[in-house]
A and B are shown apart, each in its own frame.
Chain A
Amino acid sequence: MSGGATVTVRHSRVELALHRLRGGDGRPLLHLHGLGERSPTAVPDHLADWPGPVWALDFTGHGASSVPVGGGYFCELLMADVDAALAHLGPSTLYGRGLGAYVALLTAGARPELVRGAILDDGPGLRGGGTEPTTPYVLPEALETPGPPDPYALFELSHDVRPADYATTYARQAATLSGLDVALAVCARVRPPWLSAVATEPGVREVDRAGAAALFAG
């Protein structure tokens, strides 16, 4: 099998684009893009040694996935996007950039039997909205939606609150319920509070980007 195919996966009323970047046998690696990004069209160099197939998911409101009307984004919803992809792919290793790294963490904690390791890397939307809500703000009028990326996604997912102890709850679930010695690999150099806290949890390994995929390739 070669790459190039795109599968449509349904998540409730949203149609998600799941791209096969490279075919092959064995456990898939699923790429999760950052905020405002879309899936790459080819396997990134640092993931080229992955022995199995490589897939990439466009989140709701991004890339070739559908753009809903009127917003309503939050990271747990994107976790369910990933779960819809996992329903199609079966047990997979996740690689997430920025926003995708946080969503990979959530999914690893919520589906420890399906996520066979998650790699958390730098990328847009890594920080989110900080550890506590900021001054409440309401967009003054309906946003025109020329997206993707959906401007509501850009706004809402950059304000998503990520307390450190909330993130570590997911890291602990991934570590204790996955049965993996290493459940999470952190290669992001930027460390917002949620990621600093996750990096010191048991079952989490700090690695450089080049060596991250090999950690879960066995």
Chain B
Amino acid sequence: MEAPPVVLAHGGFDFARTFDVFAPMLAQAGWRVVAWDQRGHGDSEHTALYSWEADLRDAVAVVDSVSSDPLPIVGHSKGGGITVQFAAALPHRVSHLVNLDGLPSRRSMPDVPDHERTKLMAGDLGSWLDFRRSALGRSRKPGTIDELAERRGRMNPRLSREWLRYLVTVGGRKDADGWRWKIDPALRMGGFGPWRAQWAMARLPGLSMPLLAVLGLQPEAMGSGTLPIDIEPSLPPGAHVVGMDDTGHFVHIEQPRRVADLVLDFLGTPV
């Protein structure tokens, strides 16, 4: 008989293979671990449009392909945000929800006065539109494995060089002129829009399935900076929050054993 499934959702600009150390630890404990590359990421197709809603629909398609019974879902960072929305929209499909540093708070939003915000946003918007104008002809910059690892290290300063070099070999491809990340060059970091962190937070209190939230408390650029006190008022009954003081945003990469044990303990015996 097949082991019971658990689904993992990666974060923005990551890909399923970033679970390559963490996922086998769940598998060894008797779970069938399923992760997918989000559209435009890893080995999934590049597409014309990318949005939160599209990612959410893709997540539903993945879960549909795994099981029609409720199952545990683990999401990191943006994948954590998407899976919270998944659980709020389709509570009958989720038995347990694990959120790995994927709960943005007001704290993560820069606090700038209104008149400065206007100028700041105008600059951001103009530069995003400039990027859109040139998106079609773009390709990722080629380099050696070391060069790509070094570049990613600027966004992931707490991850080991050895791990980053490994990521290049699974998240990149080797072209004639060097290695390139597979991610769609039309995708760009950063963003703007009407979305507010408190709207995502407002989805938490009504969640009906058990919730485990793991926070990486060491601040870093890719993280949300959310503290336990930011989410405690919004937690559904019985939720567990674990703050990891000595760990950054990529909790399952920095501390795979510890996070896997937290998740396994939370999920209980695979059935």
Are B129 and A68 in contact (CB-based, < 8 A)?
no
How near does chain A come to B105, taking the closest CB pair, in angstroms? 17
Interface of A: prevailing SS: loop
Cross-interface CB contact of A74 among B39, B51, B58, cutoff 8 Å: B51
Q: Is A169 in contact with chain B by the CB < 8 A criterion?
A: yes
Q: Is A209 in contact with chain B by the CB < 8 A criterion?
A: no
Q: Is A191 in contact with chain B by the CB < 8 A criterion?
A: no
In Å, the complex CA distance between A137 and B60 comes to: 11
Q: Is B257 in contact with chain A by the CB < 8 A criterion?
A: no
Q: Which residue of A lies closest to B51 (CB)?
A: A72
- Report if A169-B48 is in contact (Cβ < 8 Å); known contacts: A83-B132, A136-B89, A161-B195: no
Q: Is A208 in contact with chain B by the CB < 8 A criterion?
A: no
Query: Which residues from 75 to 99 on chain A have a C-beta closer than 8 Å to any C-beta of chain B?
Result: 76-77, 79-80, 83-84, 87
Residues in A neighbouring B57, C-beta threshold 8 A: 70-71, 138-139, 142
- Report if A79-B54 is in contact (Cβ < 8 Å); known contacts: A109-B122, A173-B122: no
Stretch with Cβ within 8 A of B (4 or more), from A7-15, A46-54, A181-189: A7-15
How near does chain A come to B98, taking the closest CB pair, in angstroms? 19
Are A111 and B136 in contact (CB-based, < 8 A)?
no
Are B51 and A173 in contact (CB-based, < 8 A)?
no
Are B47 and A69 in contact (CB-based, < 8 A)?
yes
How near does chain B come to A35, taking the closest CB pair, in angstroms? 16
- Would you give the 0/1 interface string for B140-166, flagging 1 where the beta carbon is closer than 8 Å to chain A? 000000000000000000000000000
In Å, the complex CA distance between A109 and B88 comes to: 34
**Is the interface on chain B under 10, 10 to 19, 20 to 34, or 35 or more residues?**
35 or more
Cross-interface CB contact of B129 among A13, A70, A110, cutoff 8 Å: A110
How near does chain B come to A113, taking the closest CB pair, in angstroms? 9
- Report if A70-B39 is in contact (Cβ < 8 Å); known contacts: A80-B132, A138-B90, A156-B51: yes
- Would you give the 0/1 interface string for A133-144, flagging 1 where the beta carbon is closer than 8 Å to chain B? 101111100100
Interface of B: prevailing SS: helix
Most B C-beta atoms less than 10 A away, residue of A70, A137, A159:
A70
Q: Which residue of B lies closest to A83 (CB)?
A: B129
Are A132 and B199 in contact (CB-based, < 8 A)?
yes
In Å, the complex CA distance between A177 and B186 comes to: 28
In Å, the complex CA distance between A111 and B122 comes to: 8
Are B199 and A13 in contact (CB-based, < 8 A)?
no
Residues in A neighbouring B118, C-beta threshold 8 A: 169, 172-173, 176
Are B129 and A72 in contact (CB-based, < 8 A)?
no
Are B121 and A156 in contact (CB-based, < 8 A)?
no
Q: Is B107 in contact with chain A by the CB < 8 A criterion?
A: no
Most B C-beta atoms less than 10 A away, residue of A12, A76, A110, A135:
A12
Name 21 interchain pairs, CB-CB below 8 A, sorted by A.
A12-B136, A13-B46, A13-B48, A13-B186, A60-B49, A68-B47, A70-B49, A71-B49, A72-B50, A72-B51, A74-B51, A83-B133, A87-B133, A109-B122, A111-B126, A111-B129, A136-B85, A137-B89, A159-B53, A161-B195, A166-B193
Question: A72-B50, A159-B53, A169-B121 provided; 11 other pairs, C-beta below 8 A?
Answer: A10-B136, A70-B54, A71-B49, A71-B57, A74-B193, A80-B129, A83-B132, A110-B126, A133-B199, A135-B89, A136-B203
